[in-house]
Amino acid sequence: WRLLDVKTNPPVIDFTRDIVIAVFAGTEPTAGYSIAVTGIADTTERMVTIRITAPGPSCTVGQAETAPYQVLKISRTELPLTHHDTATTTSCWY
**How many Å apart are CA 46 and CA 69, to the nearest integer?**
20
Q: Are 49 and 18 in contact (CB under 8 A)?
A: no
**Amino acid 69: pLDDT:** 95
**Amino acid 6: pLDDT:** 85
**Amino acid 68: pLDDT:** 96
Q: What is the pLDDT along the chain (94 residues), one digit of tens a residue?
A: 888 888 899 899 999 999 999 999 999 999 999 999 999 999 999 999 999 999 999 899 999 999 999 999 999 999 999 999 999 999 887 6
Amino acid at 35: I
Q: How many CA atoms lie within 13 A of 59 on its CB side?
A: 16
- 3-state secondary structure at position 94: coil
Phi, psi of 2 (to 5 degrees): -65, -35
**Amino acid 13: pLDDT:** 95
